[in-house]
Structure 1
Amino acid sequence: MTQQDSGKTQDAFWSDVENHVMRYGPAFEKRVIARAEGSFVFDEDGGRILDFTSGQMSSLLGHSHPDIVRTVREQVGRLDHLFSGMLSRPVVDLCTRLGGMVPGLEKAMLLSTGGESNEAAIRLAKCVTGRHEIVAFNKSWHGMTGAAAGATYSSARKGYGPVTVGNIAIPAPHAYRPRFTHSDGSLDWQTELDDAFAQVDAQSTGSLAAFIAEPILSSGGIIELPEGYLAALKRKCEERDMLLILDEAQTGVGRTGHMFAFQRDGITPDILTLSKTLGAGLPLSAVLTSKAIEETAYEKGFVFLTTHVSDPLPAAVGLTVLDVVARDGLVERAAVAGARLRDGLEALKQRFDCIGDVRGRGLLLGMEIVTDRASKLPDLDRGDRIAAESMARGLSMNVVKIPAMGAVFRIAPPLTASDAEIDLGLELMAEAIAAAG
């Protein structure tokens, strides 16, 4: 819809925003977005913006992918929404597809959002174990509802009263800012993990139910769990009869160069949650677990009913996403394009002293802006200036601006981004960093 089609000037649009749109966190970009296609979004004035965050880290296949558009058009005219006690072929087909991807995660439930899937996963763990304590990383983000919010520590905890009883946090292993080190200064994550679980044991009332973790802590500043850490974490859980929940909202469905990020480490979680990338920008999430856990939960009367559980329309979209990812070799593409992007970011690091660290995996990368490399002090002001200069040049990048997390750009182009688009993003980034001073 153009400015003329809307019948309102942009001044009137922003007046409506001021008077009627509730603010919920981020500052709104001062551009009215009219449409999106592929790796770009377009404003009402015809301005083109290269989307290096895949929308809300979700548009895995870019915007308005023709296969997704076709599926939505066909499915919405046939079957869109049902009573939660009814099943349809798209729902059963998607559960079957997901349940055949990882041995030990054969059972699936389809929901709408990442927070909702984590809420269900935590509730499932509590039901099965009969316990209530949930452990998470101190830089985690798992959602904004109840138990998911209680396990979220990166931000948004203050000012809302008590969270769910039984939440415990441990430090996230951070190679750029290690708390425990080997003699060469590198991260000693095993000692850190041992120390962390000693603290967990000291705080626990004897009711440890589960640990919930992101393989790459995105909102925490793109902190990747070191190789081997997940296997060690799972052993810690098994020693305490806890379940391991992995939240792959942003890392799942190929983005890291593996279908699921945990597969690099050769382990399988007890419960897996998927969301953002599974729907490729449309509201779809899933909880996967073993037949044994699902059977125990069923016997204990597990209930998780939502308005849009097992909806046919988003399930059909999820099937199409998996089809396209497999057909077009996008898991492999994420590894190749990610290497190209990372090489470009490393080159920028050599050029600009304000870039302290480049990290991440596949097409989920982080670039941290610091005042100087010796102190590693996050430069939040410069991060803001770089983000503004990037947007002015037609590049959308999301910077984590929480002081405790650092000034980290989360860079996650669609898996369908071309080499030329990756290179364009790097070129615009270089211009923005130079202009930001």
Structure 2
Amino acid sequence: MASETVQSEFADKSIGPTTQSYDIVTSLYRNEDQAALRRKTSQYLFNYGTRFMKDVICGAKGLYVYTAAGHRVLDWTSGQMSCLLGHGHPEIVKTIADHAANLDHLFSGMVSPPVITLGERLCSLLPPGLDKAFFLSTGGESNEAAVKLAKVYTGKFEIVAVNGSWHGVTAQALSVQYHYGRKGQGPLMPGMHMLPAPNAYRSIFRHPDGSYDWETELDYGWSLIDQASCGSLAAVIVECIQSSAGIHVLPAGYLKALKNHCEKRGMLLIVDEAQTGVGRCGDMMAILHEDVVPDILTLSKTLGNGLPLSAVVTNSDIEKVCVERDYCFYTTHVNDPLPAAVGNKVLEIVQRDHLVEHSRAMGKILHEGLVVLKQRYGCIGDVRGRGLMAGVEIVADRVLKTPAPELARSIADKAYDLGVWANLSSHGSFSGTFRIAPPITVTRDQILEGIQLLEQAFAATPGAMPLY
């Protein structure tokens, strides 16, 4: 019944491309010439591994971004999956301004109230066993620190990750990353091993009834690692939802089984919640949904609402041993007060405004709407995710599950032109999957707006295989 309600609300509506002025933000760059900016982009900016989009963004507010040409686009990926509360949230803006004026950056050995308060607030939201935190800048940096922490604590050096993972581009983080970016630089860190990705849609591991047999797949993966290991297994690092791999949710029980495998081998479990943390998926943290306490938790992206802020959280026992063994991860911006103040304000707003519950409710509407689209267009092979994190995989044939990245790109381009940005990675390993993760402040009307625009994009793209 609920999906029928969603279906009826966007079935007959039509929203076209939106072009409107945005005085508050675009006034900063009101007179910019987009064509000139594109020429300068080509002339001066280095391509660091992505295809720059055709438009130059000159404004961002709430759930929308604005181009130099005045095109308004619904941002269904929260920037780089980071603006949890939307762009330009007034309380975040005030926090930034106050701390830029009065308490911005300090010597890395100094401590300040925003850092202390953020540590207290964050640890109080986590289960016992995650009670010691420090704060860095990016997700890759936090994962780098977590891997080093595991190595120093265990005295071992082999790290296990999951096929399709994305943990960052620094040395150790990149070495446990199996989605993209490993080529062209010679040897990576030694002792890195890979488990098969828990891809319920495409995995060859099946029960006789056709359902996904993730337990056999996981056990098989560990049997290969045990054979390859030199006997120095230190840790596993994993995402609760593999975003860059195409929004693949760990099957129920997977994380608990993974921890059991770690304990059996004397390893630590590191969970990377860069995108799933702080309410995105309908729980304050995804580990709470799984009822699993990792040895180390990393956060980034959502914690800073778009500012560079990440966290490493562990327990007192691990801290004690690592201090004794001279663990060091001393950076220029470790425990900086300004981003810490922003993170503290993010957590305050999420709790105060009941945004975890809101994310869960809005996620239900989002997924219902996407399922309706799947019922209407044969090119949608799978809809998956949890809360306000969703993946829509585009295929050329539902039975054969043939990837259709070019078709997906055409749909994505049309959707953007119509006014909704739902990220589609330009990397072939992504298999043509939309990654949808709007700010958790999104309203019901904004979700329906995005569904309507996607509906129009599918309807206008040859090859979408309408079923009506």
- 1:35 matched to 2:59? The reply is yes
Match of 1:248?
A: 273
Select the residue among 19, 24, 30 that pairs with 2:48.
Answer: 24
What code does the residue aligned with 1:190 have? E
Moved more, 288-297 or 174-183: 174-183
> In 2 relative to 1, CA 320–194 (structure 1 residues): closer, same or farther, beyond 3 Å?
same
Match of 1:329?
A: 354
Match of 2:232?
A: 207
What code does the residue aligned with 2:60 have? A
Q: What is the distance in 2 between the residues matched to 1:8 and 1:321?
A: 32
- 1:397 matched to 2:422? The reply is yes
Match of 1:313?
A: 338
Q: What is the distance in 2 between the residues matched to 1:3 and 1:12?
A: 18
Q: What is the distance in 2 between the residues matched to 1:66 and 1:2?
A: 17
- 1:217 matched to 2:242? The reply is yes
Contact persistence 2:75–2:421 (CA under 8 A): yes
Q: What is the distance in 2 between the residues matched to 1:394 and 1:263?
A: 35
Q: Structure 1: which 5+ runs fail to align?
A: none
Contact persistence 1:3–1:10 (CA under 8 A): no
TM-superposition CA deviations, 1:364-393 (whole Å, max 9, x none):
110000001011011011011011001111
DSSP-derived class of the 2:403 partner = coil
What code does the residue aligned with 2:142 have? S
DSSP-derived class of the 1:410 partner = strand
**After the TM superposition, which segments of 4 or more aligned residues of structure 1 sit over 6 Å from their partners?**
none
Counterparts in 2 of 1:80-229, with a 5 A limit?
80-102=104-126, 103-229=128-254
Match of 1:61?
A: 85
Q: Structure 2: which 5+ runs fail to align?
A: 1-24, 463-468
Q: What is the distance in 2 between the residues matched to 1:405 and 1:137?
A: 15
* Corresponding pairs, count: 437
DSSP-derived class of the 1:366 partner = strand
Moved more, 260-269 or 206-215: 260-269
Contact persistence 2:51–2:426 (CA under 8 A): no
What code does the residue aligned with 1:280 have? N
TM-superposition CA deviations, 1:254-306 (whole Å, max 9, x none):
00101111111111000000000000111100000011111111111100011
Moved more, 227-236 or 93-102: 93-102
DSSP-derived class of the 1:371 partner = strand
Contact persistence 2:281–2:360 (CA under 8 A): yes
> In 2 relative to 1, CA 8–320 (structure 1 residues): closer, same or farther, beyond 3 Å?
closer
Contact persistence 1:354–1:369 (CA under 8 A): yes
TM-superposition CA deviations, 1:311-369 (whole Å, max 9, x none):
00000000100011011111011111011000000000000000000001001110000
Contact persistence 2:92–2:345 (CA under 8 A): yes
- 1:261 matched to 2:286? The reply is yes
DSSP-derived class of the 1:110 partner = strand
Q: What is the distance in 2 between the residues matched to 1:4 and 1:191?
A: 56
Contact persistence 2:29–2:58 (CA under 8 A): no
> In 2 relative to 1, CA 290–16 (structure 1 residues): closer, same or farther, beyond 3 Å?
same
DSSP-derived class of the 2:396 partner = coil
Contact persistence 1:142–1:151 (CA under 8 A): yes
Contact persistence 1:59–1:280 (CA under 8 A): yes
Counterparts in 2 of 1:220-299, with a 5 A limit?
220-299=245-324
Q: What is the distance in 2 between the residues matched to 1:288 and 1:2?
A: 39
> In 2 relative to 1, CA 3–36 (structure 1 residues): closer, same or farther, beyond 3 Å?
closer
Q: Percent identity?
A: 52
CA RMSD of aligned residues (A): 1.3
Deviation at 1:7, TM superposition (A): 6.4
Deviation at 1:16, TM superposition (A): 1.2
Select the residue among 87, 96, 99 that pairs with 1:72.
Answer: 96
Select the residue among 444, 455, 466 that pairs with 1:419.
Answer: 444
Counterparts in 2 of 1:351-366, with a 5 A limit?
351-366=376-391
Contact persistence 1:221–1:400 (CA under 8 A): no
